[in-house]
Amino acid sequence: MNRPEAAPRRTGGALAVGAGILLSRVFGLVRQRIISHFLGVGDASDVLSAALRIPNVLQNLLGEGVLSASFVPVYARLRAEGRDADAGRLARAVFAALAIVSSGVVLLGMLGAPWLVRLIAAGFSAEKQAQAVELVRILFPSMGLLALAAWCLGVLNAHRRYLLSYAAPVLWNVAIIAAVLWGGSMDDQARTAWLVAVGAVVGSVLQFAVQVPAVLRVLTPNGTGPVRAELQTVKANFAPVVLGRGVVQVSGWVDQLIASLVVDGAAAVLFFAQNIAMLPVSVFGMSVSVTELTDMAEQRAEDVAAAIRERLDTALRSVAYFVVPSSAALILLGDVIAGALLQSGSFGRADTIWVWAVLAGASVGLLAGTMGRVYNSAWYALHDTRTPVRIAVIRIVVAGALGSFGALVLPGLAGFDARWGVAALTASAGIGAWVEFALLRSALNARVGATGVPVRTVVELWRTALIGGAAAFGVKMLLADLHPVALGAVVLPLFGAIYFALTLRAGVPEARTVVDRVRARFGSGSR
């Protein structure tokens, strides 16, 4: 008997996810530039970064990642079996439970804001902590709404309607941008930070509301069959995934806490750098992992392992093709990126250099963290949510221990300025990401067979990326007097063009795929 074939790959879904994420991230970078223009790197910026981090935990614990792992595979399987009405019943039951849980967490978060701020920002002065408490209480309800928006995203993902949900955060960013431009002031930075929080609340309402009509169109009326078993499966998956996401959030909290103990402004710089470094992770890693999870989850139980083997290597190669040059850019051109995105008003050249150092540290684990998302999707498709949790705990221990030493102890031992310890903090997180990736891959390979990107492929990608980066670095030095935005507009496209040309000449399949898609898009046929 012939082995069942995996479902064909649907590259359009990944493109839609990537396009939606890219659009929202572009607006996010515009939002960040406007905020940095008014706040720079100082007390108000520190306070805002801590305040945004705390309620963001709710969104991550109850939002997209958790629902993608616990709800989407079960919902997608029901639809693949032709039980659309039952799938609708399951979706409504999950929404009701999510609304109740998120409402309770929001209430507890608002009441416990002083304790949460002391936990995450122990290095702040009493005045800065009081300001953070006020912002946290404003922000918590918005994050509850974003958790419900993530439910909409999960439903639409299962129906392969990706673009709207991943572009919806544009409205969240636009609301904040509008609020700051309307009443922001460099002379009253505390009020500007307050306006950011208010804009976030308005934006979360818009982000949820814009998806509701599309969800109502795809959900079928309630069926008559029982879905208790499926709901129990979701609940059984939910707890370990929340725990796993909680472990990841603990990592973010630890980083924020350590940064608050370094020097004033360190928390803000960490926040700025992480937002920039997350762009390739979100655009390339999430776009691949989201669509692969849906496709793999729809396979029959006996076919899932084969589908994972056949899909995972291609997905990982695609991720590596785009993330390796992103890492090289953070190392060699991080000042160009930070300058183009942030350097304005209260945010000066010295702040740009500081962010560059932190970005270089973040580049250490960029590839591992992005590929790790794809491996997590494979585990979720196998309905195994516990293995990623156990491995995530190991990652947090490694990153936390190394980060504490690198940020708080190493600068004194080595005799350099304490603020550079933030770069050691992000580099430590990268080492933790590599540990997690290696363990995820090893455990999955033992279950489904060998997977992964060949070392020679990664070496070739790094070789071409470093050549392109070196050429762009030289141009950067020649044009150093240009305005940061103009410099970025010249140097970054040049780097991308050189990397693409070199990989195309070297016969890298992903480069040829890009050419074929462009030709098909504009009616020129394909190879």
Gap between the Cα atoms of 413 and 523, Å rounded:
61
Mean pLDDT of the region 79-93: 83
pLDDT at res. 7: 42
pLDDT digits 0-9 by tens, 429-480: 999 999 999 999 999 999 888 888 899 999 999 999 999 999 999 999 999 9
pLDDT digits 0-9 by tens, 191-244: 999 999 999 999 999 999 999 999 888 887 765 555 677 777 777 777 666 666
Gap between the Cα atoms of 13 and 287, Å rounded:
8
Gap between the Cα atoms of 498 and 506, Å rounded:
12
pLDDT at res. 525: 45
Q: Which of residues 156 and 381 earns the better pLDDT score?
A: 156
- What whole-number percentage of the chain has pLDDT above 90? 40
pLDDT digits 0-9 by tens, 302-339: 556 677 777 788 888 888 999 999 999 999 999 999 99
* pLDDT score of 421 more than 90: yes
Q: Are 62 and 151 in contact (CB under 8 A)?
A: no
Q: Which of residues 348 and 165 earns the better pLDDT score?
A: 348
* pLDDT score of 10 more than 70: no
Give φ, ψ of 63 to 5 degrees. Answer: -100, -140
pLDDT band at 61 (very low <50, low <70, confident <90, very high): low
Gap between the Cα atoms of 221 and 497, Å rounded:
50
pLDDT band at 64 (very low <50, low <70, confident <90, very high): low
Q: Helix, strand, coil % (nearest 5) of the chain?
A: 85, 0, 15
pLDDT at res. 98: 84
Gap between the Cα atoms of 372 and 84, Å rounded:
32
pLDDT at res. 385: 74
Q: Are 396 and 459 in contact (CB under 8 A)?
A: no
Question: 347 - beta bridge partners?
Answer: 344
- The structure's pTM equals 0.80
Q: Are 84 and 219 in contact (CB under 8 A)?
A: no
Which range, 275-279, 347-351, 510-514, has the best average confidence (pLDDT)? Answer: 347-351
pLDDT digits 0-9 by tens, 481-513: 999 999 999 999 999 999 999 999 998 888 888
Mean pLDDT, the chain, whole residue set: 84
pLDDT at res. 284: 67
pLDDT at res. 180: 95
pLDDT digits 0-9 by tens, 358-394: 999 999 999 998 898 888 878 877 778 788 888 988 9
Distance (Å) of CA 63 to CA 58, 243, 269, 295, 337? 8, 13, 26, 20, 30
Helix extents (H) in 263-365: 266-280, 287-297, 304-342, 349-362
pLDDT at res. 130: 93
